[in-house]
Amino acid sequence: MPWETVHERMLAGLHERGYEDLIAPHLTVLQYPGPEEMRPSDLATRTRMTKQALNYLLGQMEELGYLERVQDSVDQRFRRIRLTPRGRAASVVMREIVSEVEAEWSQKLGSRRFGELRDLLARLSDGSGSLEKRTPKPDGAAGTRGDGSLPASD
């Protein structure tokens, strides 16, 4: 449910800020850490999409001016994804929206309880599923990756 809320707010916020042509599936392509310099096949694996579905989205986003697919400089058999200035700007806006949502939730829950929520979510997303108690960070804050998003693991 929190992811759905963030996803809906992100799409609405992007539309409000001039990115009306983005649709919900495009957010999967742009989600942190972004597709920059990835091979489409690797991005398909990361996003758990079929190669065909991802290439369809990449084609749409290329037409809309958010990214381009360029020849791999090392292996000419492959292509790499590069965000355009518009794509990079949309990614920045997405991080800003996530920060806004987190600030609201922190205010509603209190900083200590929000830090606990972030820590629990980070533990669930680290792949182990372990909810064993960790040593709390100073002031009860959970670590971030510098862009306001949760780390994959601590």
Confidence grade of residue 149 (pLDDT, cut at 50, 70, 90): very low
Cα 25 versus chain centre, distance: 12
Confidence grade of residue 3 (pLDDT, cut at 50, 70, 90): confident
For residue 45, CA distances in Å to 2, 69, 135, 141 come to: 24, 17, 33, 32
- Span 4-25, pLDDT tens digits: 889 999 999 999 999 999 999 9
pLDDT of residue 130: 52
- The β-bridge relationship of strands 79-83 and 67-71 is antiparallel
- Span 72-130, pLDDT tens digits: 888 888 999 999 999 999 999 999 999 999 999 999 999 999 999 889 988 987 765 45
Q: Taking a C-beta distance cutoff of 8 angstroms, is the pair 71, 53 a contact?
A: no
Please spell the DSSP secondary structure of 43-101, one letter per residue: HHHHHT--HHHHHHHHHHHHHHTSEEEEE-SS-TT-EEEEE-HHHHHHHHHHHHHHHHH
Query: Phi and psi for 70 in degrees, rounded to 5?
Result: -120, 160
Q: Round to whole Å and give the CA distance between 57 and 23.
A: 10
Confidence grade of residue 153 (pLDDT, cut at 50, 70, 90): very low
* Nearest by Cα to 82 from 126, 22, 52, 40: 40
pLDDT of residue 125: 79
Give the tokens for residue 142.
Answer: 């959970």
